[in-house]
C-alpha cells in the first residue's frame, strides 16, 4: 500500500499496530534523471518548459505531474488549479489561527522569520515564546525550520496560499510587511510597498537603490531605479530617481548615459533643490570627460539654486576645487575646498567633510607641498575608515600613494599604489583605478622595474577610454613614450609623446604639458626640438601649472641637459627646482637637486675627493629612496673615476 503522510504519525494507527509485520519505506524526492524521464512522457512539454517545471517541482512527483499537465497553458509559471485545490484542502483542515499564520507567511515569501509573521498577524512584534505558533505547521509538513527562520515545505505550497488570498487582504498584509521591514531591509520595504500599490513605492525604491549603491552593488541598484521609474507618476519622484541613476552610471564609468540621466532629471525637476542636484550631477560628468568650462557653467547654475542648502553648497565648492586642479589654479583649489570643508562641518556632514579633506590634499599637491598633501590625504582616509565612506577612501588612496612617492618612499609608494589598484577594482571606481595605475607606474619607473611598469600602461589607457577622459589617455601615452625611450625605441617614443602633447594642447597644457615636454627633450635627437621643448616647458611653469610639472619637467630637463653635456643649463634647472620646492623641501626635490649639482660639478672637471664622496653619498641615498633609475648616471661617473684609478 501507499500512503501520504500528514506529519503526525499518531493519526496513522497502522504505523503502531501491534503484531503487524511490515517494512516502511519513506520515499525521498525524485532525482534529476527520474524527473526528466517522467517529463518525457508528457509530449506537450518542450525541453525548456519541462526544465522549468522540474525546477519548480523540486522532486515532488505529484507537483511535477500537475505542472506538466498545466505547462502549455501557464508556461510553467502559474500554480495549477489541481495543486491549489490540494493546498486549499489542507488549509481547510487547519484551525483559523494556523491558517491566518500561513497566509501572512506567504506574503513574506518562501523564507521568513517568526517575528515578522507575528507582526503581520498581531500588528506588533512579539517575544520568541509568544505570538503565533508555527510548530504545528512544521509537524504538519507545511513548513520546516531553516536556520533561525522558517521556510515553506515546498514553494508551490507558498504560491498556492498566496494566490488564494483576496486582493484587499494581500495588499493589507504587504503594507504591514513594509512597516515591519522599515529600516531593517530597505529593498524588501520597497518591494512590499510596490505589491501593496502604495504611491510611496517609487521613492522607496530610490532609497533602497541608494543604499545598494553605497555598498557598490551598482547593477542591483540600477534594477531598483528602473522599477521605481516604472511606478513613478510624480515629477519629483522621477527627478530623484533619474539623479540617482546618473550617480550610479557615473560610478560605473558610463559617462554618456550618466549625463543623459542628469539631463532627464533636470527636465522633471520642479524645485530649486531638484534642479541644483541635477546641475551638480551634470558637472561631475563633464569634469571627468574634460569639459571643464561646461562643468563650471553647470556649477554656476547650481549655486544660484542652492541658497540655504548647506550640503549642496559644500558639494558645489568641492567640485569647483576639483576643476581648479587641471587648470593649475592652486590658490583657487585650496580656497574652494576650504569653503567646502567649512560648509560640510556646518551641515554636520562627515562624508562631505572627508571629501573636502581629500580636496585640500589636492590643493597642497598643486602647491608642490607634497608632505602636507600626504598628511591631508591621510586625514581624509582616516575619517573615511571611521565612518565607512569606502568610495571616498578609494578615490584618495591613489593620491596618498603618489604623495608617498614624492616624499621619497618609492617602495612604500608601490605597495600603497598596488593596494589602491586592488581596492578600486573591487568597488568599480574607474577614475580611482586610473590614478592608481599612474601611481604604480611612477613608483615602478623610479625603481627601474621596467617590465612591471609596462603592466600598468595598457590598464591606464583602458580606464581612460572607458571614462572618455582624453587627459588620462594622454598621460598613459606619456608613460608608454618614456618606456619606449628607456628601451631605445626612439621612433615609438617620439610618436607617443607627440600624441600626448597633441591631446594636451587641446585639453589644457597646464595639467601635464610641461612634463610631456621634458620627456620630448630627453627623447629627441633634433637640437631645435630639444631647445623648443625646454623653452616651452619653462614658459608653461611660469604661467602656472599643476605642481607635478615642476618636479617631472625639471627632473627630465636636468637629465636631458646632462645627456648633452650642457652643464650650465642643467645647473639652471636644478636651481629652479630647488627654488620651487623651497616652501616645503621633500626628499624627491632634495635628491634630484643634489644629484644634478654633483653630476654638473663632475662634468665641469671637479674630480677631487669631496666630489667623489658626494657621488658615493648620493648613490647610497638614491638606493635608500628607491630612485634606482637615477643611479646609472652616478655609476657612470664613479666608474670613470675608477677607470682612471681615482
**DSSP E strands, 92-225:** 111-112, 143-146, 149-152
Q: Which residue, 23, 43, 78, sits at the end of a domain?
A: 78
| pLDDT over 70 (residue 576) | yes
pLDDT digits (tens, 9 = 90+) for 402-423: 999 988 888 889 999 999 999 9
- Work out the pLDDT band at 641, boundaries 50, 70, 90: low
Domain contains 351: no
| pLDDT over 50 (residue 303) | yes
Domain contains 137: no
CA angle centred on 395, ends 469 and 329, rounded to 5°: 65
Residue 154 zone, left/alpha/beta (φ > 0; ψ -120 to 50; rest): beta
Q: What is the CA radius of gyration of the chain?
A: 35
pLDDT digits (tens, 9 = 90+) for 530-556: 999 999 999 999 998 889 999 999 999
* Residue 374, pLDDT score: 94
Domain contains 57: yes
The average pLDDT across 281-301 equals 94
Lowest mean pLDDT: which of 119-133, 318-332, 382-396, 531-545?
119-133
The average pLDDT across 471-494 equals 97
* Residue 548, pLDDT score: 92
Q: Which residue, 55, 78, 101, sits at the end of a domain?
A: 78
DSSP assignment string, 231-267: H--SHHHHHHHHHHHHHHHHHHT-HHHHHHHHHHHHH
| pLDDT over 80 (residue 228) | yes
Structural domain count of the chain: 2
Mean pLDDT of the chain: 88
| pLDDT over 60 (residue 142) | yes
- Work out the pLDDT band at 57, boundaries 50, 70, 90: low
Q: Which residues contact 70 (CB under 8 A, 6 or more apart)?
A: 78, 80, 81, 82
Backbone φ, ψ for residue 74 (5° rounding):
-110, 0
Domain contains 275: no
pTM exceeds 0.85: no
Q: Which residue, 61, 78, 95, sits at the end of a domain?
A: 78
* Residue 148, pLDDT score: 86
Domain that holds residue 636: 525-643
Domain contains 458: no
Q: Which residues contact 574 (CB under 8 A, 6 or more apart)?
A: 554, 558, 592, 593, 596, 597, 600
CATH of the domain at 613: 1.25.40
Lowest mean pLDDT: which of 74-78, 221-225, 236-240?
74-78
* Residue 75, pLDDT score: 53
Residue 75 zone, left/alpha/beta (φ > 0; ψ -120 to 50; rest): left
Give CB contacts under 8 A, 24+ apart, made by 454-462.
454/483, 457/483, 459/433, 460/434
- Work out the pLDDT band at 646, boundaries 50, 70, 90: very low
Domain contains 603: yes
Q: Which residues contact 497 (CB under 8 A, 6 or more apart)?
A: 477, 478, 481, 516, 519, 520, 523
Domain contains 637: yes
Domain contains 68: yes
The average pLDDT across 505-526 equals 95
Amino acid at each position: 500500500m501507499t500512503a501520504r503522510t500528514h506529519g503526525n504519525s499518531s493519526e496513522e494507527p497502522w504505523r503502531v499496530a501491534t503484531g503487524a509485520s511490515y517494512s516502511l519505506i519513506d520515499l525521498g524526492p525524485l532525482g534529476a534523471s527520474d524527473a526528466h524521464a517522467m517529463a518525457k512522457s508528457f509530449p506537450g512539454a518542450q525541453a525548456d518548459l519541462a526544465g522549468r517545471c522540474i525546477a519548480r517541482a523540486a522532486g515532488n512527483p505529484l507537483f511535477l505531474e500537475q505542472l506538466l499537465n498545466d505547462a502549455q497553458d501557464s508556461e510553467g509559471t502559474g500554480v495549477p488549479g489541481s495543486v491549489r485545490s490540494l493546498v486549499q484542502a489542507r488549509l481547510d483542515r487547519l484551525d483559523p489561527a494556523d491558517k491566518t499564520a500561513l497566509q501572512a507567511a506567504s506574503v513574506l515569501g518562501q523564507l521568513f522569520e517568526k517575528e515578522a509573521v507575528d507582526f503581520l498577524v498581531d500588528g506588533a512584534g512579539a517575544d520568541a515564546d509568544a505570538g503565533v505558533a508555527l510548530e504545528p505547521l512544521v509537524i504538519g509538513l507545511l513548513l520546516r525550520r531553516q536556520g533561525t527562520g522558517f521556510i515553506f515545505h515546498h514553494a508551490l505550497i507558498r504560491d498556492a496560499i498566496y494566490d488564494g488570498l483576496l486582493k484587499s487582504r494581500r495588499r493589507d498584509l504587504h503594507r504591514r510587511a513594509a512597516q515591519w521591514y522599515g529600516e531593517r531591509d530597505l529593498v524588501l520595504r520597497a518591494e512590499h510597498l510596490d505589491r501593496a500599490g502604495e504611491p510611496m513605492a517609487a521613492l522607496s525604491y530610490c532609497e533602497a537603490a541608494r543604499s545598494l549603491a553605497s555598498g557598490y552593488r551598482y547593477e542591483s541598484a540600477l534594477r531598483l531605479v528602473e522599477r521605481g521609474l516604472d511606478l513613478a507618476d510624480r515629477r519629483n519622484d522621477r527627478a530623484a530617481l533619474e539623479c540617482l541613476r546618473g550617480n550610479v552610471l557615473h560610478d560605473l564609468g558610463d559617462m554618456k548615459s550618466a549625463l543623459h540621466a542628469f539631463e532627464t532629471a533636470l527636465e522633471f525637476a520642479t524645485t530649486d533643490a531638484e534642479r541644483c542636484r541635477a546641475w551638480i550631477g551634470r558637472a561631475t560628468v563633464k569634469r571627468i570627460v574634460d569639459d571643464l568650462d561646461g562643468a563650471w557653467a553647470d556649477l554656476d547654475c547650481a549655486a544660484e539654486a542652492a541658497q540655504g542648502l548647506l550640503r549642496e553648497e559644500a558639494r558645489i565648492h568641492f567640485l569647483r576645487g576639483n576643476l581648479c586642479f587641471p587648470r593649475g589654479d592652486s590658490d583657487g583649489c585650496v580656497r574652494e575646498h576650504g569653503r567646502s570643508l567649512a560648509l560640510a562641518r556646518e551641515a554636520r556632514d562627515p562624508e562631505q567633510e572627508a571629501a573636502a579633506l581629500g580636496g585640500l590634499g589636492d590643493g597642497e599637491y598643486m602647491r608642490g607641498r607634497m608632505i602636507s598633501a600626504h598628511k591631508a590625504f591621510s586625514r581624509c582616509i582616516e575619517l573615511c575608515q571611521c565612518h565607512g565612506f569606502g568610495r571616498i577612501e578609494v578615490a584618495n588612496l591613489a593620491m596618498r600613494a603618489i604623495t608617498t612617492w614624492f616624499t621619497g618612499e618609492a617602495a612604500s609608494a608601490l605597495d600603497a599604489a598596488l593596494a589602491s589598484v586592488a581596492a578600486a577594482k573591487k568597488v568599480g571606481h574607474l577614475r580611482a583605478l586610473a590614478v592608481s595605475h599612474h601611481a604604480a607606474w611612477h613608483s615602478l619607473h623610479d625603481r627601474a622595474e621596467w617590465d612591471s611598469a609596462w603592466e600598468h600602461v595598457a590598464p591606464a589607457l583602458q580606464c581612460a577610454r572607458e571614462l572618455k577622459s582624453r587627459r588620462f589617455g594622454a598621460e598613459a601615452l606619456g608613460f608608454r613614450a618614456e618606456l619606449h625611450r628607456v628601451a631605445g625605441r626612439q621612433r615609438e617614443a617620439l610618436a607617443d609623446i607627440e600624441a600626448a602633447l597633441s591631446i594636451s594642447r587641446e585639453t589644457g597644457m597646464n595639467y601635464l604639458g610641461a612634463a610631456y615636454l621634458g620627456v620630448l627633450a630627453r627623447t629627441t635627437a633634433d637640437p631645435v626640438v630639444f631647445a623648443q621643448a625646454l623653452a616651452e616647458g619653462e614658459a608653461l611653469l611660469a604661467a602656472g601649472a599643476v605642481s607635478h610639472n615642476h618636479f617631472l619637467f625639471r627632473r627630465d630637463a636636468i637629465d636631458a641637459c646632462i645627456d648633452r653635456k650642457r652643464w650650465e643649463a642643467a645647473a639652471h634647472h636644478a636651481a629652479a627646482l630647488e627654488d620651487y620646492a623651497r616652501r616645503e623641501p621633500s626628499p624627491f626635490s632634495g635628491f634630484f637637486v643634489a644629484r644634478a649639482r654633483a653630476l654638473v660639478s663632475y662634468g665641469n672637471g671637479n674630480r677631487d675627493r669631496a666630489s667623489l664622496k658626494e657621488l658615493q653619498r648620493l648613490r647610497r641615498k638614491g638606493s635608500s629612496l628607491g630612485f634606482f633609475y637615477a643611479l646609472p648616471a652616478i655609476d657612470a661617473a664613479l666608474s670613470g673615476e675608477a677607470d682612471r684609478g681615482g
